[in-house]
Every structure is written in structure tokens, then in C-alpha cells.
Amino acid sequence: MNALSPRSLRALWRVLGELEADPEIRALVITGAGEAFCAGMEMSGLEGSDPLAARRRCRELQAVVGRVADSPLPVIAAVNGVAMGAGLELCLACDLALASPRARFGYPETRLGMIPCGGGTQRLVRLVGLRRAEELVLTGRILSAREAAEWGLINGVTGEDALEREADELARRLAGCGKLALYQAKRCLRRAPDLPLERGLEHEAECFATCFASGEPAASLKRYSAQAGAEGGGGAPLEAASEAEEGRGAAAGRKEDEREAGEGDAIFE
């Protein structure tokens, strides 16, 4: 059922680092092997944990889920089955989420004498509001894919056998955008709920200016102007920046990535 053990968390941390360092990778799709997305945190051995060991497991999970949320690449969750506990937390950390009709979502932890500990109590409230978050966490209610879409937990439900295809199509659309622009847009959107409007506008201006360190806007706008002129002034879709430009954009954001990943690196040393 793809439960997250300490070992699998460390493996996921390493894989994320490898993918983010590859200049050819433009977007990530996370899905589950078999018929489950992720059944949650591996419970084996947890029953004998003291508070210190339990906190350690919690912080490891939070670090990995946080890395997904803070990835410089856009991340898509393709939920192909149950997404319970840590599985739902992983889904909520992704930028976009699609689900098959057989997907199920929930936080069953309170039935086991625990609470969600991978950021679930925090991200869920920000996404769906306090009332619905309390209903899901306190009662352990399980949502169908259609209900999850109605609540705003996911972006949509695909056809029965269309999840992989639609997730790939979405990833290709994202790959056609500026790499640094997507990262800066993510930073603005993720911080928006926590910032006063004026501070948020300042942050937006900073991120907008950072985009111009990559060369992406200059190259894209130049192509846009050339295409518009060739078509008699009509609008033309912007093309993605060249790989070299994207590489410069990734380098411009790398220092911020390293700083934000610092705590996680310490946890997994």
C-alpha cells in the first residue's frame, strides 16, 4: 500500500534531490505503484515509540513533505488509489493534484490515538478552512475522489483509465513555461496566506524582479514580438525559454533552495 517508512522517506528525499538537480527535468509527477497512492506512515514499530522517538518520526515526515511543497519544480500528484494520512499530506504538498475515480482521501489517525503529523493539520486548514478540516481530522471521515474535488483537495477527477495520460499532459504544459518563473510564482502563491497584503505585494515585486536574472523574459518577449509581427500584430503563445536560459534561471534560485532545505538536510544526515 506504499506506506512511508523511515527508509522510504530517506529514499524519497534523495530522489527529489537528484531530480531537482537535473536541468532536463521540468516538472514532477508523483503517483503510487499498484492500486494505492500512499496508505500513510508505516506503523510497524511505532507502537513502542516514546515521545522523543515519535517526534523524530514526525519531523522526518514533515521534512520530506515540506521538500515536495518547496520544490523549485512544479509537482503534480496523480492519485491512483487510497491517499490516507501521510499520503494525503503528500498530496496536499503538491502544486496540482488529479485523481482517478477510485481514489479515497482521509486522515484516520485519531482512530489510532494520534493526529496527522506531516503538516496535515496546517495545510488542510489553509486549503479548505477550519470547519471542513475539523470534520475530516476529528471524525476520520473518508472522502471519495468526487468529494475531494468539491472540497478543493484536488484539482479534478480524471476518467477511469486516463489518470496517467492527463497527468503527463499537465506536466508537459508546465514544462512549456519558464522554469524560474514557475518557481517564483510558487513562492508567491505559497506565502500569500501568511503575509499581510502590503508585504505580499513587496514579495511579489521581489520575485518578479528575480525572474529577470534568468534571461527568460527577454528571450521569450523577443520571440513573442517577432511572432506577433510576422502574424500581423496578432497575439502568439509564448514559447519556453531555451535550456541554457533555464539553466541560468535554476542557478539564480539555487541559493534560496539550499537555504530552505537546510533543516531537512540536518535531519537526514
Is it the case that residue 243 has pLDDT exceeding 50?
A: no
Domain termination site, one of 175, 210, 231: 175
Count up the domains in the chain and report the number.
Answer: 2
Q: Are residues 121 and 24 in the same domain?
A: yes
CA torsion through residues 92, 69, 76, 191, sign:
positive
109, 204, 245, 246: the active-site residue: 109
pLDDT at 99: 98
Q: Are residues 47 and 164 in the same domain?
A: yes
Domain termination site, one of 175, 190, 212: 175
Q: Is residue 14 part of a domain?
A: yes
Q: Are residues 16 and 93 in the same domain?
A: yes
pLDDT in tens, 8-49: 999 999 999 999 999 999 999 999 999 999 999 998 888 889
Q: Are residues 70 and 185 in the same domain?
A: no
Q: Is residue 1 part of a domain?
A: no
pLDDT at 264: 65
Q: Is residue 244 part of a domain?
A: yes
Is it the case that residue 202 has pLDDT exceeding 90?
A: yes
Domain of 210 in residue numbering reads as: 179-267
Q: Are residues 104 and 37 in the same domain?
A: yes
When pLDDT is averaged across residues 89-109 and rounded to a whole number, the result is 97
Is it the case that residue 187 has pLDDT exceeding 60?
A: yes
Domain termination site, one of 175, 195, 218: 175
When pLDDT is averaged across residues 156-170 and rounded to a whole number, the result is 96
CATH of the domain at 25: 3.90.226.10
Q: Residue 109 catalytic?
A: yes
pLDDT at 165: 97
Q: Is residue 183 part of a domain?
A: yes
Q: Are residues 218 and 256 in the same domain?
A: yes
Query: When comparing pLDDT for 263 and 88, which is higher?
Result: 88
Q: Are residues 62 and 159 in the same domain?
A: yes
Query: When comparing pLDDT for 257 and 83, which is higher?
Result: 83
20, 42, 60, 89: the active-site residue: 89
The mean pLDDT value of the chain amounts to 88
Confidence of residue 256 (pLDDT cuts 50, 70, 90): low
Q: Are residues 188 and 160 in the same domain?
A: no
Q: Are residues 38 and 157 in the same domain?
A: yes
Q: Are residues 17 and 131 in the same domain?
A: yes
pLDDT in tens, 114-126: 999 999 999 999 9
pLDDT at 160: 85
Is it the case that residue 240 has pLDDT exceeding 50?
A: no
Q: Are residues 153 and 196 in the same domain?
A: no
Q: Residue 164 catalytic?
A: no
Q: Is residue 262 part of a domain?
A: yes
pLDDT at 6: 92
Q: Is residue 248 part of a domain?
A: yes
Q: Is residue 141 part of a domain?
A: yes
Is it the case that residue 193 has pLDDT exceeding 70?
A: yes
pLDDT at 239: 43
Q: Is residue 93 part of a domain?
A: yes
User: pTM of the entire structure?
Assistant: 0.83
Closest CA to 245 of 171, 177, 178: 178
